[in-house]
């Protein structure tokens, strides 16, 4: 539990008379909390960048068999290369923007500016998660369609089922594919929420506390 939360709990005790903290006392605490949260977000983004690069590059060095399979289909290869470049570029841009946010928050000297930086940071994280989910959805759909095209036995069986009137089997496969895609996205969304969502909620609490300080100062 951080220093500010401990103070809040103490303030609720009626039997103890604590000195009233001023805006100048509370602001440094909120600044320190916000800076620490963005620093953690930055570390997570760097770890994600390393993971992205590792996953993208590692298969090229695993075995000759994998390289042979990857070179069978130029269209498939090109699509994967484009998705990989876009994905890594997005993560690099995210790391850079978070670094800028961390630096801006660390040197902020007033609550209004800190509130602006918090809102910008939250927007950057939300946009990043949104871009990644869309990119992964496109990649997953393409991967599934490529699997059907390259697996001739499976494709022939499905086409044969549709031709023979076994329409239930045909649609069952389509529904299964859709469910796999939805489940994959749901799992990824959960992972992103655990990595970024919890920290964003803490950052949002800081924003609300700063807003209260601004309201108090305007009344005073």
Domain boundaries, the chain: 27-204
- Note the pLDDT of residue 120: 92
- Note the pLDDT of residue 154: 57
- Note the pLDDT of residue 142: 78
Q: Where does the chain have alpha helices with state H? A: 3-11, 23-57, 64-70, 74-106, 111-150, 152-163, 167-192, 198-219
Of 83, 98, 86, 102, whose CA–CA distance to 34 is shortest? Answer: 102
Q: Measuring CA to CA, how many Å separate 127 from each of 35, 88, 90, 91, 196? A: 20, 15, 10, 11, 12
d(CA 31, CA 158): 60
Residue where the block lists tokens 């709990």: 9
d(CA 200, CA 193): 9
d(CA 52, CA 174): 29
- Note the pLDDT of residue 18: 44
Q: Which residues of the chain have pLDDT under 70?
A: 1-25, 57-77, 147-171, 173, 216-220
Q: Show the CA angle centred on residue 10, arms to residues 37 and 217, nearest 5°.
A: 65
d(CA 113, CA 98): 16
- Note the pLDDT of residue 98: 93
d(CA 98, CA 38): 7
Burial class of residue 38 in the structure, from the number of CB atoms within 10 Å of its CB (0-12 exposed, 13-18 middle, 19+ buried): buried
Inter-residue contact 203 to 121 (CB < 8 Å): yes
- Which two tokens mark 78? 């090109």
- Note the pLDDT of residue 16: 46
d(CA 197, CA 48): 15
């Amino acid at each position: 539990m951080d220093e500010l939360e401990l103070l809040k709990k103490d303030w609720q005790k009626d039997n103890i008379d604590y000195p009233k903290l001023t805006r100048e006392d509370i602001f440094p605490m909120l600044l320190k909390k916000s800076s620490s949260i963005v620093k953690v977000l930055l570390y997570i983004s760097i770890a994600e960048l390393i993971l992205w690069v590792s996953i993208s590059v590692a298969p090229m060095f695993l075995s000759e068999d994998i390289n042979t399979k990857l070179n069978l289909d130029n269209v498939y290869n090109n699509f994967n290369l484009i998705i990989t470049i876009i994905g890594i570029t997005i993560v690099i841009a995210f790391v850079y923007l978070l670094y800028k946010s961390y630096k801006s928050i660390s040197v902020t000297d007033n609550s209004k500016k800190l509130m602006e930086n918090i809102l910008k940071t939250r927007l950057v994280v939300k946009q990043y998660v949104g871009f990644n989910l869309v990119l992964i959805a496109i990649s997953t759909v393409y991967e599934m369609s490529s699997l059907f095209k390259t697996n001739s036995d499976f494709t022939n069986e499905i086409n044969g089922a549709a031709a023979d009137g076994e329409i239930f089997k045909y649609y069952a496969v389509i529904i299964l594919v859709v469910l796999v895609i939805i489940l994959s996205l749901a799992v990824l969304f959960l992972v992103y929420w655990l990595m970024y969502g919890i920290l964003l909620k803490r950052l949002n609490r800081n924003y609300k506390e700063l807003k209260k300080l601004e309201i108090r100062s305007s009344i005073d």
